[in-house]
Amino acid sequence: MGTWLEKQRNLMDFALSSLVRRKLKNLGLLALYTLIVFLLASVMFFTHALRREALLVLEGAPEITVQRVVAGRHDLMPTPYVAMIEDIRGVASVQTRLWGYYYDGVVGANYTLLVPPGTSPTARRDDPHGPGETPAVEGEAGPPTSPVGSLVGSLVADLDLGALAPGTIVIGAGVARMQHRQTGDTMAFRASDGSLLPLRVGAVFSSASELVSSDLIVLTEPDFRRLFGIARDYVTDVTVSVRNPREVAMVAGKISRQLPDTRPIVRDEILRTYDSVFNWRSGILVVILSAAVLAFVIFAWDKASGLSAAERREIGILKAIGWETGEVIQMKFWEGATVSLAAFFAGVILAYVHVFFTSAAVFAPVLRGWSVLYPAFDLTPFVSVEQLITLFFLTVVPYAVATMVPAWRAATIDPDAAMRQAE
């Protein structure tokens, strides 16, 4: 065993000396190989981490969201629909949602404005007061008596709670960063009637939740309706919870039969969307991967198509001085193995640093697209051994095969012929 190991080390020494003799070529090779592994590993780590994070976070998404569709477009839903959905057997509860987008022309960013569900007077039919009747008193926000106040407070540590009274808003960290706003500042919005609606920032969502709250502006129903001029008997859409989780699809079917102008979106669909959004074979990632894979194929093809004249002569000389065919192949194996192992580990380490320490800085411009407001988030590193094994078989094995085949072909011919062919 010891002799065998010593022999392998000697062969490795020889292979490394051979690589060092063609220093420039092999350094280029190593750099290219590392780059390919880095790209593939980065895409794999990034998409896997993002997809997994999305699936974990969005498990709290509504069981069924029901939207009204008019002329193929999402439209506001009349509140009588709520009672009709509640009457469907299997429905546990229905909550109205009020949300929409606000384009800030000054900074060119889109915000998502949202009224926390369950706080809307239209959703509480026993509420004697209309939504516009809540006193809009700035600065009188007392202790967090509203469900919104206590809710947001339990989730976001640095909030001044009780803050969400009419006239106040809770903004996402991305909005705060872009607008240079903090708690106590005022943001002015252009309402649908052209008037200015100043709203005080009651609190800012923690940056830890930026992946879901970066562009959010949470406000009260009276402010929302005033801003967008939405009548009291309309809501954006409704969310439905179902008594028996196994009946979600059936209840969704009943809703679409009973209200044919609506579209139910079940949570499974949301999760499926995010499962496939960052599938690493989709969209622009295909382009990145295709380029990397194509480069690798060309590279492997170049290797597989034959050895250089110098390498052929070297094999001829080795055989002439007494090397066995098996030893030549082993030496070539170590040449390939040293390059590919070094490149593999370096590429994977660099990819990890790139994705989880620099927040995928190389991909950020592509992901950011034309978004002015982009969340600053650190991905949770979900890296599995399976990913590394897949990557190993995608990169190291093809290269090893590509280098072994021509070496085997050259090693099996007569040394004299090998040296003559090299001339």
Partner 1 sequence: MRKSTIFLTSLAMEVGVLGLLLGRAASVATAEHTRLRHEAELVATLGLSDLCLFTEARYTRHLSQADLSTAFQDHPLSLDHFPSGSLVPPPARQSGSLVPAPRRHSASLVRPPARR
The footprint of partner 1 on residues 34-93 (CB under 8 A) is 52-63, 65, 67, 69, 72-74
Q: Record the tokens describing residue 113, joined without a space.
A: 């404005």
Residue 317 Cβ vs partner 1, minimum distance, rounded to whole Å:
20
Cβ atoms of 159 and 153 within 8 Å: the answer is yes
Among 31, 83, 188, 249, binds partner 1 (CB under 8 A): 249
Question: Residue 208, interface with partner 1 (CB under 8 A)?
Answer: yes
CA end-to-end span of the chain, whole Å?
A: 40
User: Which string of DSSP letters, residue by residue, matches 247-277?
Assistant: GHHHHHHHHHHHSTTEEEEEHHHHHHHHHHH
Among 117, 202, 316, 398, binds partner 1 (CB under 8 A): 117
Among 84, 197, 270, 329, binds partner 1 (CB under 8 A): 270
Question: Residue 214, interface with partner 1 (CB under 8 A)?
Answer: yes
Question: Residue 239, interface with partner 1 (CB under 8 A)?
Answer: yes
Cα 350 to Cα 338: distance, rounded to the nearest angstrom: 18
Residues 303, 305, 309, 311: is their CA dihedral positive or negative? positive
Among 93, 338, 359, 421, binds partner 1 (CB under 8 A): 338
Among 31, 107, 341, 389, binds partner 1 (CB under 8 A): 341
Site string for partner 1, 135-174 (x = CB under 8 A): ----------------x---xx---------------x-x
* Residue 53 C-beta-side C-alpha neighbours within 13 Å: 18
Q: What is the DSSP letter of 330?
A: H
312 vs 332, beta carbon nearer partner 1: 332
Among 191, 285, 394, 400, binds partner 1 (CB under 8 A): 285
105 alpha-carbon distance from chain centroid? 28
Residue 306 Cβ vs partner 1, minimum distance, rounded to whole Å:
26
23 vs 423, beta carbon nearer partner 1: 23
Four-point Cα dihedral 366, 369, 372, 377, nearest 10:
-40
- Name residues contacting partner 1, limited to 349-408 (CB under 8 A): 349, 352, 356, 366-367, 369-375, 380-383
Select the span of 25-33, 226-234, 264-272, 403-411 touching partner 1 (CB under 8 A).
264-272
Question: Residue 216, interface with partner 1 (CB under 8 A)?
Answer: yes
In a 10 Å sphere around its CB, with 0-12 CB exposed, 13-18 middle and 19+ buried, how is residue 287 labelled? exposed
Cβ atoms of 53 and 379 within 8 Å: the answer is yes
**Integer-rounded Cα radius of gyration of the chain:** 32
Among 78, 92, 101, 326, binds partner 1 (CB under 8 A): 101
